[in-house]
Every structure is written in structure tokens, then in C-alpha cells.
Amino acid sequence: MEFYKVINTRRSIRKYSRKDIPKDVLERVMLTAGKAPSGRNRQNWKYILVYDNKIRNKLVAHCLNKRFIINCPVTVIVCGNVIPDHNRGKYMGKYGSVMDAAVTFDHFTLAARAEGLGTCWIGRFNNTEIKTILDIPSDWNIVAISPLGYPEDENAFKSCGNRINYDKLVSIDCFTSKE
């Protein structure tokens, strides 16, 4: 699919069909997620694909009871490995692992879209509880969660959602452009 079409038609999908995702499609999406850049090419991320319904049911309670995260073929969780602050400059240091995981997750959502698959970036979850459920080591944190599957509504990808216009998005020379 053409690059800008992927960008312009990606939407957060909250209703999924039960149609299985072919193995080769899923692998393509995950490998594309792994092509994302990261600081010093650390690739300090890890995806957990959760299929087991017993485990998935436990996750829901820690995602504001949003059942759509498991009403799909697979629930995808990206974790970031904590990077010591000094490896990333002073101010940005503590955000390093979150930035890297966010970049790969965006690649993931776009690759999924290119394959006709829906995602919904979930940022509201209980990191501590889900880490325990999934046996995630202490030096890793969950950065994002998403359901993955084909949308129930085949028109779900019609257009991009509302976005601010160019003038609000971009300013010239300083934060507020001067005439």
C-alpha cells in the first residue's frame, strides 16, 4: 500500500472480527516494527504477543476494563528496557526507553494498517500489575498495548481522524510564528 495512504487511513480500531491473522502477515508486521530506529541502535524493546485467553482476561482488569483489547485474535504489548540516564544525555536520558519503544510501536501500527489490520494504542494500563501477570523482568516496563486484528467494520479505515491544521502544527523560527 502507498505510504501516505497508510498514514492517512490509519485509525484506532476498537471493534474486531474474529478472522485469524495469517502467520506470514503477522511476521511481516512484527519485523517491520523491528526496523524502527533507536538510540545507538540498541533495539531495547520486546514485543509480547498474548493469545492465551486466561492470561488475556487478567489483563482487562488492568486496562480500565476495556474488553476490546482482548476481543481480537491477539493482544500486543511492547516493553522498553530501562536505559541508564547517562547513556542518553541528561534531560532526555530518563525518557530513552519510552522513546525507543514508542517509535517501534508506531512502526507496528502503520505496518498493521498496510496489511489491513487494526490497532488501538492503549496508554492507560497498570504497568506493575501487568508486569507481574506476564512475568516481565524488573528492568523492563510496558510502554504500550494494542489489540491486533481485522476491523469488524470494513469501512473503518476510510479516513484520518481530525487533526490540527498546518499553521497550528508548524511555526517558523520560534514557538509562535511572527508575521
Ligand X SMILES: Cc1cc2nc3c(=O)[nH]c(=O)nc-3n(C[C@H](O)[C@H](O)[C@H](O)COP(=O)(O)O)c2cc1C
Residue number, 21 or 145, with CB nearest to ligand X: 145
Give the footprint of ligand X on residues 6-25 (CB under 6 A). 11-12
Decide: residue 86, CB within 10 A, 0-12 exposed, 13-18 middle, 19+ buried: exposed
Which H/E stretch holds residue 78? strand 74-81
- For ligand X, which stretch binds (CB under 6 A), given 71-79, 118-126, 148-156, 171-179? 118-126
Backbone angles phi, psi at 24, to 5 degrees: -65, -35
CA–CA dist 96, 43 (Å, integer): 11
Smallest separation, CB 23 to ligand X (Å): 26
- For ligand X, which stretch binds (CB under 6 A), given 1-9, 48-56, 74-82, 122-130? 122-130
- For ligand X, which stretch binds (CB under 6 A), given 33-41, 117-125, 127-135, 149-157? 117-125
Per rule CB under 6 A, is residue 95 in the interface with ligand X?
no
Contact letters for ligand X, residues 146-165 (x by CB under 6 A) = ---------------x----
In this structure, what C-alpha cell is assigned to residue 117? 489490520
Per rule CB under 6 A, is residue 72 in the interface with ligand X?
no
Per rule CB under 6 A, is residue 4 in the interface with ligand X?
no
CA–CA dist 147, 157 (Å, integer): 16
CA–CA dist 16, 174 (Å, integer): 43
Contact residues: ligand X, CB under 6 A:
11-12, 120-124, 161
